Chain A
């Protein structure tokens, strides 16, 4: 079969599979960036011993456990604590002084995956003396990732990198103050978790659930196509308080978005934006 025909059939199969997932399981990947999704689906084919996405579709529709497994392939993101230390340093130096003026603070980590960023923010806010009056909403569409995030357990061999990032992010304490190590893993302090609420939420299909002062959503929008990016940014705009803050990934920007006009650059090099006054 000519290469072009094969490629076209693969595209059709991918669209049909995403339609099937949406209709059966109400997870909407249809407006995700298709090139990344394709790579993940190709590696899922090997895992589920399927030759084609059509075969995988058959199994996904008839075997819910296969869908649960596939969801891991499609959504799980591995990040590091304090990834891009300069982002956390900018939050600490530029955003925290303004958060400090509020009697109570709400933060939303959208697409929290397995929780690295949630714990990073909690530690930063604790160091700045703000955690006691802060509630962090951590949301994701993947229930397994949420459960892992809620456990606050990470492999010990990742901690050296976390520790270095934390120091470069202006950490005022030792990261080891916040965890106990055992059996090759570290468990983060339960006291941090008292300020976190983990919840299932989809930027593709759900609406705003709270009013918040800071939204951190990093390296999530890069998996979306433009329209879905705009939908998510619209939710963020609606969820933010007057002059609230939005932090994106280091290579994400509002530049190509319809929402750009509703935000001011705040610390542009670290992709921290601030909701414009009015509206």
Chain B
């Protein structure tokens, strides 16, 4: 593991990042439509998405996004090795986890927050697997799934982004995530770690970055240009 070098205020400590995990519920598909088509070929990270879906139907996400994305898009399969620059969607009615390898793993454990797949399940296992080499993004949604998971990613030193609640058609999910962190002004990237926080998390921001969908897309492009994604 590289010790984190000194970095500019808008450059994160971790990175290059090996994966981006994205979670969302109602209202998130429109945001994905802003984010995912902008992800460039040659992305160094894998992209893994959990979206709450009706359980008893085949998911159309792959059909919708494959023609719009530059990255290869597929539905996650159990035991599949995770490849950089590929985009994976959780299948309906299964939890999606990151296992050693790293590989994708599925489970039919009980729904969490009435959801299967659950964003917390993906985010927490990804935080375990990737540590500070992970970007976590939580989007619009009507329940509080993902809040604990995003906090876990943050605690592991990952780079966290929450959709600006003002830009979300369902702000409950982003607000629930932000409620776990010190208050900040939406739209503003938080500053550097205050001096009274533990010194073992150099450069870690005290709270997630709060961004509009456009700004999240721009941030991905920027991190890619910095060779961090």
Contacts and interface: CB of A to CB of B under 8 A. Distances in A.
Contacts of A35: 97-100, 105, 125, 128-129
**How large, as a class, is the contact surface on chain A?**
20 to 34
A34 B99 contact: yes
Interface string B89-107: 0010011011110000111
Contacts of B109: 36, 39-40
Interface in B133-154: none
A219 B108 contact: yes
Given A3-B131, A223-B107, A251-B106, A36 B97 contact: yes
Contacts of B155: 3
Interface stretch (B33-41, B75-83, B216-224): B75-83
B200 interface: yes
Nearest to B126: A35
Contacts of B157: 3
B110 A251 contact: no
B53 interface: no
A57 B91 CA distance: 35
Interface residues on B, range: 20 to 34
Interface string A26-41: 0000000111101110
A79 B200 CA distance: 44
Nearest to A249: B108
B121 interface: yes
A253 B125 contact: no
Contacts of B156: 3, 7
Contact of A222 (B107, B124, B129, B201): B107
Given A33-B99, A35-B105, A36-B97, A222 B78 contact: yes
Given A7-B156, A256-B79, A36 B128 contact: no
B205 to A, nearest CB: 15
Given A3-B156, A4-B131, A225-B99, 10 more contacts: A3-B155, A33-B99, A34-B99, A35-B98, A36-B95, A36-B97, A36-B107, A222-B107, A249-B108, A251-B106
Interface of B: 1, 77-80, 91, 94-95, 97-100, 105-110, 121, 124-125, 128-129, 131, 155-157, 200-201
Interface of A: 2-4, 7, 33-36, 38-40, 77-79, 219, 221-223, 225-226, 229, 249, 251-253, 255-256
